[in-house]
Amino acid sequence: MTQQRRGNIAVALILILLGVWFLSVQLFPGLRAFAFNRLTWPVAVIGAGALMGLIGLVTWTPGLLVPACIVGGIGGLLYWQNATGNWASWAYAWTLIPGFVGVGAILSGLMNRDRRAVLSGGSSIFISLVLLAIFGSFLGGMALSRYWPILLILLGVVLLAQGIFRRG
């Protein structure tokens, strides 16, 4: 199947699913109340990411999984922040975004049977979690305030090892 044909199928699926969603919201008052609830609005962002991921899987477009994971992950962060009211956590929660990229890269790599993409995705997740621990402890969101320099050293060692042992 050509790339253009896959793109057309993806656009068609998006239009169909959006139409079904908007029709359902109009026909079912309970669904409308849920969709426009003050506490559940981030579910739409999570749903957009899930929709992108589903379309990427159905049309076998692995490149769509990276933005799907970014959008879905940010939706999950927004849901948590909205539920807890901890909006100040954006000071360090942004460090999870490279991890979302890593999850998408792993999924895309698995679909393409690309070992390098899977390893690169794992590195992105690791770096993202280390940065979360560093910034979270430094900015008061986590209880590692005294030992965060160890995480910085660990991150530096990992990046140095990747630079030394990387092939080609």
**Nearest-angstrom CA–CA distance, 20 and 78:** 25
Last residue of a domain, one of 56, 85, 114: 85
Nearest to 93 by CA among 43, 37, 133: 133
> What are the E-state strand segments in the chain?
none
Q: Are residues 54 and 96 in the same domain?
A: no
Residue 1 belongs to domain spanning: 1-85
Q: What is the pLDDT of residue 2?
A: 73
- Per-residue pLDDT tens, the chain, 168 aa: give them: 676 777 777 778 878 888 887 888 888 888 777 777 766 788 888 988 998 898 888 888 888 899 999 999 999 999 989 888 888 888 889 999 999 999 999 999 999 888 888 888 988 998 898 888 888 877 766 666 566 677 677 777 777 777 777 665
The residue type of 33 is A
Q: Are residues 2 and 76 in the same domain?
A: yes
**Nearest-angstrom CA–CA distance, 126 and 120:** 10
Last residue of a domain, one of 24, 57, 85: 85
Query: Mind giving me the DSSP string for 67-90?
Result: HHHHHHHHHHHHHHHHHH--GGGH
Q: Are residues 35 and 45 in the same domain?
A: yes
- Cα separation of the two ends of the chain: 33
Counted domains in the chain: 2
Q: Are residues 140 and 95 in the same domain?
A: yes
**Nearest-angstrom CA–CA distance, 163 and 127:** 14
Q: What is the pLDDT of residue 144?
A: 60
**Nearest-angstrom CA–CA distance, 71 and 63:** 14
Nearest to 88 by CA among 98, 99, 97, 77: 77
Say how many residues make up the chain: 168
pTM of the model: 0.73
Q: Are residues 74 and 114 in the same domain?
A: no
**Nearest-angstrom CA–CA distance, 3 and 23:** 30
Q: Are residues 3 and 81 in the same domain?
A: yes
Q: Are residues 127 and 77 in the same domain?
A: no
State the burial class of residue 23 (Cβ atoms within 10 Å of its Cβ: 0-12, 13-18, 19+): exposed
**Nearest-angstrom CA–CA distance, 126 and 99:** 7
